[in-house]
Chains A and B, each alone.
Chain A
Amino acid sequence: MPLKMEENETMTPRERVEAALAIKEPDRVPFTPAFHCAQARLTGMTIEEFFFNIPKSFEATKKVWEMFGGFDIYSGCSPILGYYAPIPNSHSQIYFDWTLPKGNIPEQMHEREIMKREDYDLVIQNGFTPFKRRPELQREFGKMIVQFSKLDTVSWLKEMDVMTLSEAFIEPPVDMISFLRSFNKFLTDIIEIPEKVVKACEATEEELLRSLDLQFQAFRRKEATQMCLFGFSRIATNFISPKKFDLFWPHIKRITEYILKNDFIVQYHIDNDYTDVLEYFTEFPKGKIMFHLDLTDIFKAKEILGDRACLMGNVPPQITGRGSPKEVEDYCKKQIEGCMEGGGYMLGSACVLPDEIPPANLKAMKDCVMKYGFYRK
């Protein structure tokens, strides 16, 4: 069923998001929450069931869309695939130690020093392959891909004219190294042996770009607006100085240019706070990059990047998960009013919506765009 258009709406969700990405004013602010497993609780199942039962997770997702009159972007159903992905990334169990969901406790990483300081040379020589601890999981990944391909996602989204939040993803080499070293050891390395860390990043960049090629080949669609999630969390300026961030900028820049060359919009999914380094991103062309912000100040981002990059996020889980509907409304209203002018803005959660978001709070977010998010033409 196509989504029912509300009064004053003149665009489909895809048209609305495409306008926002192009830094144009759509009919109203798009509402683009990124779900993790919130659909589970909203439909009365456990996170565990939602995570492992792919068809059921899709049914639950569709049900949530019906409950809330739809959203402007599709962020997926069960997030299980990433945990079996054979490409180097922090979520993959092939490289990292994760406990997958149990009941309503979500998946969690047991971060430890997998790579020792003396292993930098190994990474420089051989990339991330020596750290594949469970390569056999690649077979599971193949089976899951088959399960996902059996869902009627494509036709369902086509019918509603809704875009997918991201259709490829990559993390910069520095994040992969940071997770392998573990957070504290990595930050100590940045202070004590920065040249070695940078060298390892340079040596592994190509390996990560090749993982993107595979995804581009598999998911690229002709004449469609598509986004590639470029996610990083470990070089935030609440962790390291802007001067240290500068060490890793060349890799971020090269990966960004590679994604752009492949006709995907770069979606920076940047966890933690990058407010002090937003200026770096001003060199990219208008409408080709967008930001999904966590703790980065979205108002400051609007000032610095508002003329070229679409912004979303920064609504904290403490508000959406634990606040009252009134608190949610107040927070979102302030953000909408401060960011909507001129387009290039979508209302979304910081990182993902908390799994325990009460239905009334999700409704409050949606009501907020309907109440305050229309552009007057």
Chain B
Amino acid sequence: MNKQLVNAMAELDRAKVLEIVEEEIDKGTDPSKIIDWLSEGVKIVGEYFEKKEYFLAELITSGDIFENAFQELKPILEKSNVNLQSKGKIVIGTVQGDVHDIGKNIVKSILTASGFSVNDLGVDVQPEKFVEAVKNSDTKILGLSALLTIAIDSVKDIIKLLERENLRKKVRIIIGGSAFSEEIANKLGVDAFGKDPQDAVRICQKFLK
């Protein structure tokens, strides 16, 4: 493991991260290994966040640096045909009636940096689209985001439709965003409420154990 890279990521030192990534590329290191080290750094950022030493700003910056480094590695990954080992697949989107995507994008970024493959359906997504995505993939998690409380009804519609298609048991549903709360999650009958991006990652990891 390149501890320097892990530490640079944990310290949010973008220039150093990119410099080490470049060095590792030049050395011919397996790109999937480099990604693992980056993810290890992101994991430390998450731990600092939980200890309240880091805040959302640091969490987002780590996701952004990861994305930056990933873009550097992308051409090599494509060339070398390396299949990244995904920790699991997640379908995510902002529900119908709501176009807010900040929260969703943060969660997507942190999940990606933590090794998940995320299928982002975008914003104002119709219930049918969520159901179709669940039906046509081997995803085990469905992440629903909303800021407007009126969008809670869209979650109800998605659940109804999943039940009608006999798909409800296929996926665990996690909701997040200002529209929701633990109580609303219980009332809706979803599997979890993610109170922040790090919480969402933890819940998704638990779902896949």
Q: Measuring CB to CB, which residues of chain A are less than 8 angstroms from any residue of chain B?
A: 99, 104-106, 108-111, 182-184, 187-188, 190-192, 237-241, 244, 316-318, 321-323, 354-356
Residues of B within 8 A of A108 (CB): 98-100, 148
Contacts A99-B99, A241-B55; A106 near B150 (Cβ below 8 A): yes
Q: Min CB distance, B173 to chain A, in Å?
A: 18
Chain B nearest CB from A253 CB (Å) reads 22
A184 contacts B102, CB within 8 Å? yes
Q: Which residue of A lies closest to B14 (CB)?
A: A192
Instruction: Kindly specify which of B57-65, B79-87, B112-120, B134-142 makes contact with the partner chain.
Output: B57-65
Bound form: Cα–Cα A173–B155 in Å: 36
> Quick check: is B180 within 8 A (CB to CB) of the other chain?
yes
Closest to B183 in A: A318
Closest B residue by C-beta to A316: B181
Quick one: CB contact mask for B140-154 with A, threshold 8 Å, 1 for yes?
A: 000000001110100
Provide the residues of chain A in CB contact with B102, threshold 8 Å: 111, 182-184
Cβ of B87 to closest chain A Cβ, rounded Å: 23
- Asked whether B149 lies within 8 Å of A354 as measured between CB atoms, the reply is yes
B200 to chain A, nearest CB (A): 15
User: Inter-chain contact count A-B, CB under 8 Å?
Assistant: 74
Q: Beyond A188-B57, A188-B60, list 4 extra A-B contacts (CB 8 Å).
A: A105-B150, A111-B102, A184-B60, A355-B150
Closest residue of chain B to A184, judged by CB? B60
Given A191-B12, A240-B55, A318-B181, also A184-B100 (CB < 8 A) = no
Contacts of A105 in B (CB 8 A): 97, 150
Q: Are B150 and A356 in contact (CB under 8 A)?
A: yes
| A239 contacts across to B, CB distance below 8 A | 55-57
The residue from A110, A238, A322 contacting B184, defined by CB atoms under 8 A apart: A322
Nearest to B58 among chain A residues (CB) is: A191
Return A255 CB to nearest CB of chain B, in Å.
22
Chain B residue nearest to A242 in the complex (CB)? B55
Determine the interface band of chain B, counting residues with CB < 8 A from chain A. Answer: 20 to 34
Nearest chain B CB to A27's CB is how many angstroms away? 33
Q: Mark B93-106, 1 if CB is under 8 A from A, else 0.
A: 00001111110011
Chain A residue contacts of B57, Cβ below 8 A = 187-188, 190-191, 239-241, 244
Query: What CA separation (Å) do A241 and B59 show in the bound complex?
Result: 12
Please tell me if the beta carbons of B149 and A321 are within 8 angstroms of each other in the complex.
yes
Q: Note all chain A residues with C-beta closer than 8 A to B64.
A: 184, 188
- Chain A positions within 8 Å of B109 at CB level: 184
Q: How far is the CB of B58 from chain A (nearest CB, A)?
A: 6
9 sample A-B contacts, Cβ–Cβ < 8 Å, listed by A number: A104-B150, A184-B106, A191-B61, A238-B55, A239-B56, A317-B149, A318-B184, A354-B149, A354-B150
Q: Which residues of B contact A188 (CB under 8 A)?
A: 57, 60-61, 64
| Residues of chain B within 8 A of A244, CB atoms compared | 55, 57
